[in-house]
């Protein structure tokens, strides 16, 4: 009883989800791919059918579950359509264009009477973050007092706007920090490294989140770190700390140094995370519930809300307080 999955969007992420569902995830198979570009859809779909109409795909009878990997601004509408069709949906981050749109999704899910939305903050399935999280949850170290995150890209893509350091990169840090700490945040401050070139954005940003329980989260987002893709986390607690090791499995002894390679970008770094996320999503559909570790619609909302406030802190130079309603769902 394999689940038929339909995918909207056949870009980098959509094609990767298609590959995973086709060849690496047990208990599901790919039935359809929708994209405005039929050739691209065909390449991702392999033997599955293709479509240029996402809503037609969502409502197709053979589609039992939907992955949304279309352009960011379209996410919200497709997720709402999937909820209306009563189908589980895994939506690439962000969940919607604005936090207000995310709230509409939460409402729709509440109306549907069932949690159908899994927001694709895939780091929760990364073996390294999971090992770190398991150590924190084991309790030996006590409560987290400070979490340091580093999010470094070799070079920002051409199409990155200054805001995207927050809305595209930092959102991952928001989601994973909430998951690791299990607490909400009450304030955010941003200090930016000044650029001496007017055409170059401030980079890196140093973003501090203050948690309701007193803990701090300090995150460096550096889009042009020059040397490689480097995501790192270290949590220091009351009685000790835990941190990520070098991401490389091997090191090379060459020309005078011992060299451990960084991944080229997020795709090799989080390949396992995407696979494990998609497998957990499929397993959860089989069991009729949302995966316990999934980033829910509420989590998707929180990430978008805090990102919006972080942008405000960045632009005003002020410490911005966060107003977090208690989750009622």
User: What residues numbered 277-306 form the site for its own copies, per CB under 8 A?
Assistant: 279, 283
Of the residues 12, 46, 252, 324, which one makes contact with its own copies according to CB under 8 A: 252
Residue 318 CB, shortest distance to its own copies, in Å, is: 9
**128 forms part of the interface with its own copies (CB under 8 A):** yes
Q: Should residue 97 be labelled a site residue for its own copies when binding is judged by CB under 8 A?
A: no
Segment near its own copies (CB under 8 A); pick from 66-74, 108-116, 166-174, 261-269: 261-269
Alpha-carbon distance 100 to 218, whole Å? 26
Cα distances from 61 to residues 3, 30, 201, in angstroms, run 12, 13, 47
For its own copies, the closer of residues 70 and 153 by Cβ is: 153
58 CB neighbour count, 10 Å cutoff? 25
Q: Which of 159, 253, 292, 326 binds its own copies (CB under 8 A)?
A: 253
Q: How far is the CB of 317 from its own copies (least distance, A)?
A: 8
Contacts of 233-236 spanning 24+ positions with Cβ under 8 A: 233/129, 233/132, 233/147, 233/148, 233/149, 233/150, 233/176, 233/180, 234/147, 234/148, 235/132, 235/136, 235/141, 235/144, 235/146, 235/147, 235/148, 235/180, 236/144, 236/145, 236/146, 236/147, 236/148
Among 262, 281, 301, 314, binds its own copies (CB under 8 A): 262
267 lies in the site for its own copies, by CB under 8 A: no
What secondary structure letter does DSSP report for 72?
G
Distance of alpha carbon 190 from alpha carbon 113, whole angstroms: 39
Instruction: Pick between residue 77 and residue 291 the one whose CB is nearest to its own copies.
Output: 291
Rank residues 248 and 267 by Cβ distance to its own copies and give the closer one: 248
* Binding span for its own copies by CB under 8 A among 24-32, 54-62, 97-105, 163-171: 24-32
Shortest separation between residue 304's beta carbon and its own copies, angstroms: 23
Q: Does 240 sit near its own copies (CB under 8 A)?
A: yes
Centre a 10 Å sphere on the Cβ of residue 194 and count the other Cβ atoms it contains. 8
When asked if residue 23 is in the footprint of its own copies (CB under 8 A), the reply is: yes
Which tokens in the block code for residue 260? 């451990």
């Amino acid at each position: 009883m394999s689940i038929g999955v339909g995918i909207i969007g056949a870009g980098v992420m959509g094609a990767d989800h298609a590959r995973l569902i086709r060849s690496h995830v047990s208990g599901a198979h790919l039935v359809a791919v929708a994209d405005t570009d039929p050739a691209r859809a065909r390449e991702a779909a392999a033997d599955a059918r293709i479509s240029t109409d996402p809503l037609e795909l969502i409502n197709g009878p053979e589609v039992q579950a939907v992955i949304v990997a279309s352009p960011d601004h379209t996410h919200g509408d497709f997720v709402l359509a999937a909820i209306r069709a009563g189908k589980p949906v895994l939506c690439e981050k962000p969940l919607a264009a604005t936090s207000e749109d995310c709230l509409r999704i939460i409402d729709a899910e509440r109306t549907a009477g069932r949690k159908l939305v899994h927001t694709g903050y895939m780091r929760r399935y990364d073996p390294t973050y999971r090992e770190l999280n398991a150590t924190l949850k084991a309790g030996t170290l006590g409560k987290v007092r400070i979490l340091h995150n580093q999010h470094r890209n070799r070079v920002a893509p051409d199409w990155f706007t200054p805001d995207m350091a927050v809305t595209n990169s930092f959102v991952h840090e928001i989601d994973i920090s909430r998951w690791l700490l299990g607490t909400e945040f009450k304030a955010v401050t941003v200090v930016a490294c000044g650029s001496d070139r007017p055409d170059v954005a401030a980079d890196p940003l140093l973003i501090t989140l203050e948690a309701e329980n007193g803990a701090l989260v300090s995150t460096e987002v550096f889009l042009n770190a020059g040397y490689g893709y480097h995501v790192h986390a270290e949590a220091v607690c009351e009685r000790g700390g835990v941190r990520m090791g070098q991401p490389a499995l091997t090191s090379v002894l060459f020309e005078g140094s011992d060299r451990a390679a960084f991944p080229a970008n997020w795709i090799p770094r989080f390949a396992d995370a995407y696979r494990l996320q998609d497998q957990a999503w499929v397993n959860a559909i089989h069991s009729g519930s949302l995966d316990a570790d999934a980033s829910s619609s509420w989590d998707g909302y929180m990430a978008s809300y805090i990102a919006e406030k972080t942008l405000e802190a960045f632009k005003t130079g002020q410490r911005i307080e966060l107003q977090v309603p208690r989750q009622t769902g």
